[in-house]
Amino acid sequence: MNSFELEIDEKSRAGSEFMARVVNEIRRALASEKSTRKITQQAIADKIGTSRAVVNRQIQGLENLGARRIGEILWAIGWEPYFEARKIPRGENNFSITTNNIEALPGTDRKITELSNVRIDREGIKLTNQPATAAR
Amino acid sequence: MTTFDKLLEEKKLIRVTLRLPRGQFHDRKFYAYPKCVNWMRNEVPKMVTGRLGSAFTPHEQLIERLRQWMAGHPMSYGPMFHDMDPQTDEVWEMKTADLRIFGWMYRPREFIAVSGGYTDDYKEPTKTKTYADDRRQVILARDALPLDGDKFAKGNFDELV
């Protein structure tokens, strides 16, 4: 089967994914509240002291929400945020480093003099070893 | 006429995937015409945020919307927030602040994307295209696809999404 995997750099992915999660949680909370009682964006805006347009942009995910505003919007509808940071399990973090002369390539005597990317994933450490950057 | 798998083999359609975050699993499928894949791959990453001034770049918006779709997460929250909408003629629109993706539901939870566009291009004062053009493009592409059996699924939002 032919398939194509879309990619984005890890930093953008981590940031945008978290922002999207926050926005979706606010939308879920708001939709849930609206299903049981009448609540408007204007009412939320009045309660937290801003305009309806700002609230609308924020719950649409158009503005980068600060932690304070997240708390305020949820408070205004009778909810509260729950946030917890956790360490990414070993071997599941992807990051890039640039360094020189890392002893590498198990099973060979080849060294990488220029490393553009070291990826650590479920299979372990993967070293990018392009012929142009590898030297004996 | 031919089968869906054959169309994938012949690269007339391409399955688009994403590496999902930990704890998320592929639930819905996303296919696209090669031209649309090219747009997602080469054009979207170069786009800048449009007039709505989203905090996300168009590329981040695309990845996030597809992640949401593929992971089986809600595509709507009540009547207020819809990230996907049915149009006329069984055409569906997937949307972000700056992007529009048009296609159809081949089967429930299996979307085929035909074309994509930049939201500001559909709106004055920089309007260069219309939603109707994209809908027509989807219908033409779907009609021309030599596919055995039903070409599209019918149903309401909850049945198909």
**Mean pLDDT for all residues in chain B:** 95
Report the CATH architecture of A11-76. Orthogonal Bundle (1.10)
Entry pTM: 0.82
pLDDT score at A63: 82
Locate the domains of chain A by residue range: 11-76, 99-135
Interface pTM, i.e. ipTM: 0.85
Distance CA A11, CA B9 (A): 34
Q: Around Cβ B51, how many Cβ atoms within 10 Å?
A: 12
pLDDT band at A6 (very low <50, low <70, confident <90, very high): very high
Strands B110-118 and B29-32: parallel
Instruction: Please report which residue ranges of chain A form alpha helices under DSSP H.
Output: 10-36, 41-48, 52-59, 67-76
**A124 CA to chain B: closest CA distance, Å?**
16
Are B40 and B16 in contact by the 8 Å Cβ rule? The answer is yes
Token pair of B108 as six digits: 């429930």
Identify which of A134, A36, A42, A110 has the alpha carbon closest to the alpha carbon of residue A79.
A36
Per residue in B13-67, pLDDT (tens digit) is 999 999 998 889 999 999 999 999 999 999 999 999 999 889 899 999 999 999 9
**B66 CA to chain A: closest CA distance, Å?**
9
Locate the domains of chain B by residue range: 4-18+27-129+155-160
Per residue in A39-83, pLDDT (tens digit) is 999 999 999 999 999 999 999 888 888 999 999 999 999 999 999
Are A37 and A44 in contact by the 8 Å Cβ rule? The answer is no
B11 vs A1, more confident = B11
Sort out which chain B residues have CB atoms less than 8 A from A64's CB and list them.
Answer: 55
Which CATH number, 3.30.2310.20, 3.20.20.70, 3.40.640.10, 3.40.720.10, labels domain B4-18+27-129+155-160? 3.30.2310.20
**Mean pLDDT for all residues in chain A:** 77
Query: Which residue type sits at A80?
Result: E
Contact: B64, A20; criterion CB under 8 Å? yes
A88 vs A1, more confident = A88
